[in-house]
Structures are given as structure tokens and as C-alpha cells.
Amino acid sequence: MMSKLLTQNLYEQDYHLWLETTLKQLQTKDLENLDWEHLIEEIEALGNEQKRKLESYLLQLLKHLLLYQYWSVPDCQNHWELEIDNFRVELRKLTKSKNLYNYMLKVLGEVYNDARRQAKKKSGLNNFPDQCPYTVEQILDVDYLPQFTYGTK
């Protein structure tokens, strides 16, 4: 068994060994020697990382849906379809977690505003809707693609 002080020092010196040691301590229920401070920090960071991933995939997906729907660039349509599919696959994996699904619902409007701003910058168009035009079901539906709406600058 490794003492609590040694485990805490291990965190700073060899992160992967700290992970292995912490896992073994949890498996053997050696709660007395756990490095609680760093374990809590790591669990919080893991949750935040998942939320950042979800926001990033959602942003990219919404931006590409907007570009696909509103910006007629024939050479890009197939690329955007592939990107939409890739981001949707990743987003669907994350939203299998009820907590992350609910988080997506919470941040959808804010993320949409960022996606709309980026789509405007990329396309030069100003006709993107102020509110997200896609339902959550459409956002996650692997077969959904919006119909093209002719955009104007």
C-alpha cells in the first residue's frame, strides 16, 4: 500500500502511475490512502472535458447544417454532408448520457448563436435565422439534411 503523501507526490511526478495507483486503491477500497484532492479535481476535469466536446461537436454540426441549407457552393455540399455526419456521430455518442443530453438542451441556444456567427463570417450571408431552426430530433437524426434555401448577401 502506498501512503497518502506518496500518492499525492506521485500525481505531480508520474500522472499515469498515479492513475494506476488510484484505480487499484479504488478497486481494493483503500479509501484511507486515496489522494482525494486530486481525484476530485480529475473527475471535475473529466466532466468539463465532456461538456466542451459536446459544445464543440454541436457548434460544428449546427454551422455545417446552416452552410448546407443556406449557402450554395456546389463543390462543398458533399464535404458538408460528410462533416455533418461526422459531427452528428460524435454528438450522438456523447448524448447517450442523459446528463450530457440535458446539458445540450441547456446550451443549444448559446451554441447556435456562435454557429450562426461563424457561418456568417465564412459565407458572407446575413440571412441565417436568429433562433435555431432545427429541432433536437433533427440535430441528432443521422438521415436528416435540411432543404436548400437560397441565400442572399
pLDDT per residue, tens digit, the chain (153 aa), is 566 666 668 888 898 999 999 999 999 999 998 999 999 999 998 889 999 999 999 999 999 999 999 998 878 888 899 999 999 999 999 999 999 999 999 999 999 999 999 999 999 999 999 999 999 999 999 999 999 886 544
- Measured CA to CA, the distance from residue 31 to residue 27 in angstroms comes to 10
Q: pTM score, two decimals?
A: 0.81
29 to 23, 38, 118, 136, 140: CA distances (angstroms):
10, 17, 49, 41, 40
Region of 28 on the Ramachandran plot (φ > 0 left; ψ -120 to 50 alpha; else beta) = alpha
- Every domain of the chain and the residues it spans: 50-140
With CA atoms as reference, report the closest residue to 41 among 5, 12, 76, 79. Answer: 12
Distance from chain centroid for Cα 135: 18
- Measured CA to CA, the distance from residue 150 to residue 127 in angstroms comes to 9
pLDDT at position 1: 54
